[in-house]
């Protein structure tokens, strides 16, 4: 099993050597500012007390308050949480929003807990970390197996302990509780802006540009729908059960309805069934991995025929696969840029809460487009300047921004 924090530190070292990073700044960036480890006692429905372990990693707040999700998962480890908080720092700095990196997690299988046990766990976690969070310190959000409801409990508990309202303490809230318009599809929308910019750089005509989407969940299906409306040709899509392919393209909205009715993309009219392995190796212009991490590895990277990979999922490409794709001339738009629409709109939610404002969806998307297009252009420029891949360029750009603000 690869250690995610070791991977993250390899990426840091690679960028540091390319940009001749000041060795003191490199040293500072090798560790989070702090990792809180807490024990959360929960009185279970059967009257017994069970103690859960939770973590919160805070990675460099030179640009602004820490920002990042809280996950409930049986495999949460301190190294995973540290790595994810590091990548959040990089992601925020890549798109130039004034936030640092944060990530939290509790070792638990939430499916085994009743609703009241989940509520006690969520409130109990906040009771242990509340002095270290707040709209001016650290702003959590939902992540794997956590929901707007869990965020609402956490915010409520935090405000009780604080003794006053602080709606910006947590993002990913329901709209009626201060959530942002456009948040539900913001990750996909940010990815779409990246695809549009890439098509311009490559002089591709959208109607002649074939896109395949591996992972037809929330982000993947939204991205396919928006790209289709902009004239791109969606030729393949897959979910956990398998995939479908049609050379001259299909309507992703109809595929989404079919999936809702039947539970899978399989069996969609006039398409050929393919496996999840095959969708990665199709001869298309753009491959969008939108599901899990580590799907493009040194085992299959040589078989990738797409001209570009736009990473909507977190960490879908391993470091070894990155090297192979670069040799093959495949352009990879990395996750820290391509899926940063989500954290950007989370930042907008925080900004609206802090200023007691509520922006329309149109305003949100206008601001998001400006940020994503600027970030894409700056990463592209950095790539050309150093002759590196886009992921390394994004890291260089992000570390430049954080490094400028670090004082020691």
What are the catalytic residues?
Answer: 103
- Contact in structure between 370 and 378 (CB atoms under 8 Å): no
pLDDT tens digit string along 48-59? 999 999 999 999
> Residues 76, 78, 81, 83: is their CA dihedral positive or negative?
negative
**Host H or E run for residue 221:** helix 218-229
pLDDT tens digit string along 253-276? 999 999 999 999 999 999 999 998
- Would you say residue 75 lies in a domain? yes
Whether residue 48 is found in the same domain as residue 169: yes
Dig out the tokens for 24 from the structure: 């003191």
- 116 is in which domain, residue-wise? 31-173
Query: Who wins on pLDDT, 2 or 376?
Result: 376
Output the domain CATH number for residue 148.
Answer: 3.40.50.10860
pLDDT tens digit string along 320-365? 899 999 999 999 999 999 999 999 999 999 999 999 999 999 999 9
Whether residue 140 is found in the same domain as residue 267: no
Number of domains in the chain: 2
- Would you say residue 355 lies in a domain? no
pLDDT tens digit string along 341-351? 999 999 999 99
Residue 245 pLDDT grade (very low, low, confident, very high; cuts 50, 70, 90): very high
CA 297/CA 116 separation, integer angstroms: 41
Domain boundary among 122, 138, 173: 173
Q: Considering the chain, what is the average pLDDT of its residues?
A: 94
- Would you say residue 391 lies in a domain? no
Question: What is the predicted pLDDT for the residue at 318?
Answer: 87
Residue 294 pLDDT grade (very low, low, confident, very high; cuts 50, 70, 90): confident
pLDDT tens digit string along 80-93? 999 999 999 999 99
- Would you say residue 343 lies in a domain? no
Domain boundary among 306, 338, 370: 338
Calculate mean pLDDT across residues 184-191: 94
Query: Who wins on pLDDT, 199 or 407?
Result: 199
Whether residue 38 is found in the same domain as residue 109: yes
Question: What is the predicted pLDDT for the residue at 87?
Answer: 93
Is the pLDDT reported for residue 234 higher than 80?
A: yes
Question: What is the predicted pLDDT for the residue at 240?
Answer: 87
Calculate mean pLDDT across residues 91-98: 97
| Residue 274 CA from chain centroid, whole number | 27
- Would you say residue 87 lies in a domain? yes
Whether residue 161 is found in the same domain as residue 189: no
Whether residue 328 is found in the same domain as residue 293: yes
Calculate mean pLDDT across residues 132-154: 93
Q: Among 315, 291, 328, which Cα is nearest to 391's?
A: 315
Whether residue 109 is found in the same domain as residue 207: no
Question: What is the predicted pLDDT for the residue at 4?
Answer: 84
Residue 385's Cβ-side half-sphere holds a number of Cα atoms within 13 Å equal to 13
- Would you say residue 10 lies in a domain? no
Calculate mean pLDDT across residues 129-149: 94
Residue 292 pLDDT grade (very low, low, confident, very high; cuts 50, 70, 90): confident
Whether residue 214 is found in the same domain as residue 316: yes
CA 161/CA 169 separation, integer angstroms: 13
- Would you say residue 332 lies in a domain? yes
Is the pLDDT reported for residue 1 higher than 70?
A: no
Query: Who wins on pLDDT, 2 or 117?
Result: 117
- Would you say residue 136 lies in a domain? yes
Is the pLDDT reported for residue 184 higher than 90?
A: no
Whether residue 130 is found in the same domain as residue 267: no
Output the domain CATH number for residue 201.
Answer: 3.40.50.720
Question: What is the predicted pLDDT for the residue at 46?
Answer: 97
**Host H or E run for residue 390:** helix 390-405
Calculate mean pLDDT across residues 216-223: 92
Question: What is the predicted pLDDT for the residue at 336?
Answer: 95
């Amino acid at each position: 099993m690869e250690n995610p924090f070791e991977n993250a530190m390899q990426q840091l070292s690679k960028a540091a050597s390319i940009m001749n990073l000041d060795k003191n700044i490199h040293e500072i960036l090798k560790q989070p500012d702090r990792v809180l480890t807490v024990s959360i006692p929960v009185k279970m429905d059967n009257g017994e007390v069970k103690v859960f372990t939770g973590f919160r990693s805070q990675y460099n707040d030179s640009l602004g308050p820490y920002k990042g999700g809280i996950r409930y998962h049986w495999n949460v480890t301190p190294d995973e949480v540290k790595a994810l908080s590091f990548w959040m720092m990089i992601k925020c700095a890549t798109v130039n929003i004034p936030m640092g990196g944060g990530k939290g997690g509790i070792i638990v299988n939430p499916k085994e807990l009743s609703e009241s046990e989940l509520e006690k766990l969520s409130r109990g976690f906040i009771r242990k970390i509340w002095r270290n969070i707040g709209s001016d310190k650290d702003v959590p959000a939902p992540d794997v197996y956590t929901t707007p409801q869990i965020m609402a409990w956490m915010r409520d508990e935090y405000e009780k302990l604080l003794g006053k309202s602080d709606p910006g303490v947590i993002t990913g809230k329901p709209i009626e509780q201060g959530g942002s318009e456009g948040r539900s599809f913001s990750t996909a929308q940010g990815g779409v802006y990246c695809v549009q910019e890439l098509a311009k750089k490559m002089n591709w005509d959208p109607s002649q540009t074939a896109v395949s989407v591996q992972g037809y969940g929330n982000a993947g299906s939204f991205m396919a729908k928006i790209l289709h409306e902009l004239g791109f040709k969606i030729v393949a899509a897959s979910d956990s059960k398998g995939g479908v392919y049609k050379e001259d393209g299909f309507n992703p909205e109809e595929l989404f309805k079919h999936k809702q009715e039947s539970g899978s993309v399989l069996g969609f009219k006039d398409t050929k069934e393919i496996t999840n392995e095959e969708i990665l190796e199709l001869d298309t212009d753009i491959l969008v991995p939108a599901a899990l991490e580590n799907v493009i590895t040194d085992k299959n990277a040589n078989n990738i025929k797409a001209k570009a990979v736009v990473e909507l999922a977190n960490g879908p490409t391993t470091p070894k696969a990155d090297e192979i794709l670069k040799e093959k001339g495949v352009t990879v738009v990395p996750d820290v840029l391509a899926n940063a629409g989500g954290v950007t709109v989370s930042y907008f939610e925080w900004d609206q809460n802090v200023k007691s404002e509520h922006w329309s969806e149109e305003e949100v998307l206008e601001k998001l487009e400006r940020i994503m297009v600027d970030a894409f252009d700056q990463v592209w420029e950095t790539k050309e300047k150093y002759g590196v891949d886009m992921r390394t360029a994004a890291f260089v750009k992000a570390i430049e921004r954080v490094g400028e603000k670090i004082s020691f």
